Structure 1
Amino acid sequence: MARIGYFAPRGTGKRAEADAVAVIGLGRFGGSLALELEAAGTEVLGIDLDEENVQGYTGRLTHVVRADSTKEEVLRQLSLPEFDRVVVGIGTDVEASILTTSRLLKFKRPEIWAKAISEPHAEILEQLGVHHVIRPEHDMGRRVAHLVRGTLLDYVEFEDDYVMTRTSPPAVAQNRPLGVLGIRDTFGVTVVAVKRRGGKWEHTTAQTVLYGDDEIIVAGPRAQAESFSQLPVE
């Protein structure tokens, strides 16, 4: 198998391009992620065992290679030890996902994101020491559940139950400067940005006054942020 010289193959003494990512598994998740990275200006090495998948992304990604990622020697030939970031997007073949991830972890250098299709799969990846375990269906399900309730326009959850939500300002936060309302002390959240109707997002200040037709971004613990978003808007 030929080496990918563009990414400084093993033995050159160089590292992969700083803004380069290897994506292993070009299914719906991995392929979409790889294309989004390319669109944002990140150079992508796409790897997949399926020839049809490889052909489908040829010319759309910086480099695409058909390869068996479960073999350590193949990963070395493709310069994976030189990458700073690798995404394992293999989904349905759990064994291949685990083997690929365990091989990558031996290299020490890459920061690894790995997709899990179930809780047991996620537990195994976490036990192996994967830096970031991605559970698209699980995470999207939780996010959509919050949106379906109708009080939030968008919802992002971080670690330790901390979230950012996009919502409308409740009546208690309207028509007076934020600096005199004591939102953080009273409700345990912070209004970090506001978007006026027809305008753009702007950072809030103590002098910012919110109105009923604004959209706001609220940051704080999940329970407090949800409670704040459920307050009457008028």
Structure 2
Amino acid sequence: MVDNDPLKPRTTRRAPDSSKDAGVLVIGLGRFGSAIADTLERLGRDVLGVERQPELIAQWAGRIPLVEADATNPEALEQLGARDFPTAVVGVGSYLEASVLITGNLVDIGVPQIWAKAISAEHARILQRIGAHHVVLPEADAGARVAHLVSGRMLDYIEVEDGFTIVKMRPPQETQGFTIAQSKIRERYGVTVIGVKSPGIDFVYATPETRISANDLLIVSGNADLLERFAARP
């Protein structure tokens, strides 16, 4: 007998309630999707994973609530109550057709927030055009971030929007031993020191009187190009 059921539960744990307060639907449990689902679960968020590959189902069974289903099939999404989730993540990226079909299905049923993984700029444009609210290019984003980190003194790099960026970095020599006011960092470099983390001491928000030492870590914000110049100082 052929099994035509598009939805096969594969969990011994309770799936999220189908209400507007329900959690996040994560479709595709590859490296990207599984990292999101696992982190959400550890943070105490309701999450339901959806995967069609038996080996991934076996890997994640018992660790997160999940079902085995083909999300390219609109009937499967209806059966698992996808329209009741306020947020869905499409972690399928390598298979362009599946990614587009799944995202389109979620758009059709009116999921309020759809996050989708893309593997190229062209893929991202397609997902945006069919209605994905947020498109992520993890490899491109990670590559750009690492490029900034390896180019200078930066230890972490987060681009917020329109060039505004926050970085963690070691202090340039010319600022060491001086207060922020004495260093005139804002006037000279156009960036703002948000906070300072000294070894063995809790993070503190920076004031003009905050003194910077050689072993400190600085949290600095500003335009990406200006931050690059500041971080490049010896």
TM-score by length of 1: 0.88
CA–CA distance in structure 2, aligned partners of residues 84 and 183 of structure 1: 44
Aligned residues of 1:156 and 1:165 also touching (Cα < 8 A): yes
Aligned residues of 2:86 and 2:113 also touching (Cα < 8 A): yes
The letter of the residue matching 1:50 is Q
Residues 1:91 and 1:2: Cα distance change in structure 2 (over 3 Å): closer
CA–CA distance in structure 2, aligned partners of residues 35 and 8 of structure 1: 18
Residue matched to 1:15: 20
Q: Which structure 1 residue ranges, 5 or more long, are not aligned?
A: none
Paired residue secondary structure (1:7): coil
1:221 and 2:223 matched: yes
Aligned residue runs from structure 1 range 1-234, under 5 A? 1=7, 6-9=15-18, 14-17=19-22, 20-61=23-64, 63-232=65-234
Q: Which structure 2 residue ranges, 5 or more long, are not aligned?
A: 1-6
CA–CA distance in structure 2, aligned partners of residues 225 and 141 of structure 1: 18
Aligned residues of 1:82 and 1:110 also touching (Cα < 8 A): no
CA–CA distance in structure 2, aligned partners of residues 131 and 8 of structure 1: 23
1:181: Cα distance to partner?
4.0
CA–CA distance in structure 1, aligned partners of residues 49 and 15 of structure 2: 13
CA–CA distance in structure 2, aligned partners of residues 76 and 184 of structure 1: 54
CA–CA distance in structure 2, aligned partners of residues 153 and 222 of structure 1: 14
1:185: Cα distance to partner?
3.0
Aligned residues of 1:8 and 1:79 also touching (Cα < 8 A): no
The letter of the residue matching 2:187 is D
- Deviation string 1:113-152 (CA, Å, 9 cap, x unpaired) is 1000112111111222311111111011111111122321
Aligned residues of 1:7 and 1:79 also touching (Cα < 8 A): no
The letter of the residue matching 1:15 is K
- Deviation string 1:159-205 (CA, Å, 9 cap, x unpaired) is 21121111111234333332454422331111111111233322212
The Cα RMSD (Å) is: 2.0
1:106: Cα distance to partner?
2.0
CA–CA distance in structure 2, aligned partners of residues 88 and 41 of structure 1: 20
The alignment covers a number of residue pairs equal to 225
CA–CA distance in structure 1, aligned partners of residues 130 and 156 of structure 2: 33
The letter of the residue matching 1:53 is L
Paired residue secondary structure (1:145): helix
CA–CA distance in structure 2, aligned partners of residues 101 and 222 of structure 1: 32
